Amino acid sequence: MMGARMKSRLTRLFIYTILTITAIACVYPILWVIMASFNPGTSLFSATLIPDRLTTAHYFNLFVEREFGLWYRNTLNIAFWTMILAVALVIPTAYALSQFRFKGRRLSLMSMLVLQMFPSFMSMIAIYLLLLQLRLLDTHIGLILVYAGGAIPFGSWLVKGYFDGIPRSLAEAAKIDGASNATVFTKIMLPLSSPIITFVALSNFIAPWMDFILARLVLRSSGRKTLAIGLFEMVTGYAHTEFTMFAAGSVMVAIPITILFIFLQRYIVQGLTEGASKI
């Protein structure tokens, strides 16, 4: 009995030690970047975690010396409309694949599944040529369409799994009472699916908010830059060494996402786990 208790305590101690080390490894870089944003000068180097002298000049200079407000507005515009369009495309698609049986349904599901196996950067050249032919290159609309379209395969599979888990008796009872398919979808299925809809909306807001590669490929004009492009250009090249201002910009970028996760993490986790477990 004593040996079993000792083994249990050692196992628990080992797990807590690993978790503590992991937490420190994750939190320390974040704290280091936050403290670096208050460090005077342009260098990120500091002998201590908390600099001897703190300043907020870098946050002020982001909006005075750089077009940070414009970058912020562009990124917010792209992320917001991507979220709206992605939800409008994913939810009806997933509902149709889950609740109806039609010719080509299985082929559509398998095509979506296969598309998820390939990394997104493999389609960069095709996306560039397609937007060029449609005259949507260097436009926010083109970027929004690419982001929203790319969200359909994974999002549809995820939401379909959630819809599959909702009892069909609810829809059948509503139809017996005279409800149409549109009424069943809007009055029954959508209210029951708020967790997964929240997850799809937030995931499609965060993706363009943090993306750099696709935005760098599509956008060229200085007035259409996003946060990722603007911050990247602040520290590239021999003449650009404003690393502390870059750290301040990184903190400003993380604030909206952090707030969203804090207030909506319950819906995010519930939607992800329930949708994934029912696929």
Rounded to two decimals, the pTM is: 0.80
- Residue 81: the pLDDT is 94
Which of these, 196, 205, 207, lies nearest to 98 by C-alpha position? 196
> What fold is seen in the domain 58-277?
MetI-like fold (1.10.3720)
- Residue 238: the pLDDT is 53
Report domain extents, the chain: 58-277
Q: In tens digits, what is the pLDDT along the chain, a chain of 279 residues?
A: 556 777 777 888 888 999 999 988 888 888 888 888 888 877 766 666 777 778 888 888 888 888 888 999 999 999 999 999 999 999 988 888 888 887 877 887 787 777 777 777 778 888 888 888 988 888 999 999 999 988 888 888 888 888 888 887 877 788 887 778 788 888 888 888 888 888 888 889 988 888 888 888 888 888 888 988 888 888 776 556 778 888 888 888 888 888 887 877 776 665 555 544 444
Which of these, 71, 101, 33, lies nearest to 215 by C-alpha position? 71
- Residue 60: the pLDDT is 86
Fill in the amino acid letter for 50.
Answer: I
Task: From residue 119, give the alpha-carbon distance in Å to each of 123, 127, 275.
Answer: 8, 13, 22
- Residue 240: the pLDDT is 62
- Residue 239: the pLDDT is 55
* 50 vs 46: CA distance, rounded Å: 8
Residues contacting 250, CB < 8 A, separation 6+: 33, 37, 231
Which of these, 150, 149, 167, 158, lies nearest to 195 by C-alpha position? 158
- Residue 251: the pLDDT is 87
